[in-house]
Amino acid sequence: MARASGLMAAVGGWLRTILYADGADVGAANPLPVYVVPVADDWHPDLQVDEAANDSDKTFTVPADTEWYICWIWVEYASTATVGVRQLVVQLQDDAADVIGEIRMGLAQAASLTRYYQIGPSLGDLVAARDGDWLMTPLMSTTVLPAGYVVRIYDNNAVAAAADDMVVQMMVMARAV
């Protein structure tokens, strides 16, 4: 009975499939067959940025004929002296504005503070700020959004939505579909 196993590896924009036949050692007398299949997915990094002042509600929409894979999100949030508890949320919406997911930061933000938030796959979930101002929060590792879907980053209490300053940089891998 023949035994076969396989290994797939992306190499230089090509998907290489290596098949081992009959369980034999690969060598000069028993060459390894390699099948090369072109990969049609041309993912490329695309930094999304909103650095407008006086706004703690940012929205990013996946363009038409595009998909995004979210790699990470960086938020710099400076709250004004307006009293209130701010809760930073990353919300995912479908193309009909239905909420399909939310990530809430592990620590709320009070007035007159500047905090730095790092959101990404495989990050820990901090419920206390490191160095007094830095938090990290995990993001699902399979966050792929089709055209028309939305990433909204905002203070869900809207304490000083038109006065607080929020700078957002979000790295996505984008591809045309």
Domains in the chain, number? 2
Q: Is residue 73 within 8 Å of residue 168, measured between CB atoms?
A: yes
Mean pLDDT within 89-109:
96
Q: Is the pLDDT of residue 2 over 70?
A: no
Whether residue 152 sits in one domain with residue 70: yes
Q: Is residue 60 within 8 Å of residue 50, measured between CB atoms?
A: yes
Q: Is residue 9 within 8 Å of residue 39, measured between CB atoms?
A: no
**Residues of the domain holding 15:** 4-38
CATH number of residue 67's parent domain: 2.60.120
Report which of residues 3 and 72 the model is more confident about: 72
Whether residue 168 sits in one domain with residue 99: yes
Q: What is the DSSP string of 31-97?
A: PPPEEEEE-----EEEEEEE--SSBSEEEEEPPTTEEEEEEEEEEEEE--S--S-B-EEEEEE-TTS
Each residue's pLDDT tens digit, 121-143: 989 998 899 999 999 999 998 89
Distance CA 149, CA 94 (A): 5
The fraction of the chain above a pLDDT of 70, given in percent, is 77
Mean pLDDT within 12-38:
51
Does pTM surpass 0.85? no
Each residue's pLDDT tens digit, 40-80: 569 999 999 999 999 999 999 999 999 999 999 999 999 99
